[in-house]
Amino acid sequence: MRLAGKVAIVTGGGSGFGEGIVRKFVTEGALVVLMDRDEAAAARVAAEVGENVRPITGDVSTLGSFEAAADLARSAFSGLDILVNNAGVAQPPLALETMNEEMFDRIANVNMRSIYNGARAVVAHFKSIKSGAILNVASTGGVSPRPNLTWYNASKGWAIAATRAMAVELAPFGIRVNAINPVAGDTPLLSTFIGSGEENRARVVATIPIGRLSTPADMGNAAAFLCSDEASMITGVDLNVDGGKCI
């Protein structure tokens, strides 16, 4: 068990990639605080997975939500070792001149501010225990952008840059910071990017050399490795989980 006894916060664990990460972490022996703004989704996953998952309703764009999750980790599970910044929002395809400020703010507040908030809430604690792992869920869009998703892609490029900058600052304290870059996934978020329908799906799959969409389990496997002691020499990387798309 790669994560035996480790305590993790996973944001956006009520659906999609985050749910896959929660499920894999528990299989590997972790105790998980699942923070999601969707109370019912968080409760569903916690009920299905069992007592090693504690749900908490929170919005990653606020520092207080992370502080509440960190408090819950310490009170329910007596520690905190891992933070997975997974919760994110997508944008529909839009030409640059048509994306309004409200949508830009939502992307910035969720995809970018969450990483800042998470760091504010956990780094002092990680320094005090001289260990800790942070994983940021970025996107292939952050390294290999497609047209009409510019501010989403840019937010993910920022997440990758933040990962490197945080890794350099925190390495001397025994804290590792990595990212994963999922390719288009078989999750509810996909329809925001591409609309619904088999034809749209097939068009996306055709851009992925390995010939399928990614899955929550794919992200769980990569996340469990990067957050485990097996990856103790790995920090500052962004790992493409992309079926070869970014080659």
152 belongs to the catalytic site: yes
Q: Which two tokens stand for residue 165?
A: 């900058």
Tell me the per-residue interface mask from 100 to 129 with ligand ADP, x by CB under 6 A, - otherwise. Answer: ----------x-------------------
Separation between Cα atoms, residue 21 and residue 12, nearest integer Å? 10
Q: By C-alpha distance, which of 60, 164, 77, 173 is closest to 118? A: 60
Determine the Cα angle at 27 with ends 24 and 29, to 5°.
Answer: 115
Residue 83 contacts ligand ADP per CB under 6 A: no
- Distance of closest approach, residue 131 Cβ to ligand ADP, in angstroms: 26
Which among 152, 154, 156, 216 is annotated as catalytic? 152
Q: Which two tokens stand for residue 145?
A: 């952008």
**Strand pairing report for 176-182 and 31-36:** unpaired
Residues 126-165 that bind ligand ADP (CB under 6 A): none
- The nearest distance, CB 84 to ligand ADP, in angstroms, is 11
Q: Which residues within the stretch 163-222 sit at the binding site for ligand ADP (CB under 6 A)?
A: 185, 187-189
* Closest distance of CB 183 from ligand ADP, Å: 11
In 27-158 the beta strands, taken as DSSP E runs, fall at: 31-36, 53-57, 82-85, 133-137
Name which position in 6, 7, 9, 14 contacts ligand ADP (CB under 6 A): 14
Which listed residue (7, 9, 10, 11) binds ligand ADP by CB under 6 A? Answer: 11
Phi, psi of 10 (to 5 degrees): -120, 120
Where does this chain bind ligand ADP (CB under 6 A)? 11-12, 14-18, 36-38, 41, 59-61, 87-89, 110, 185, 187-189
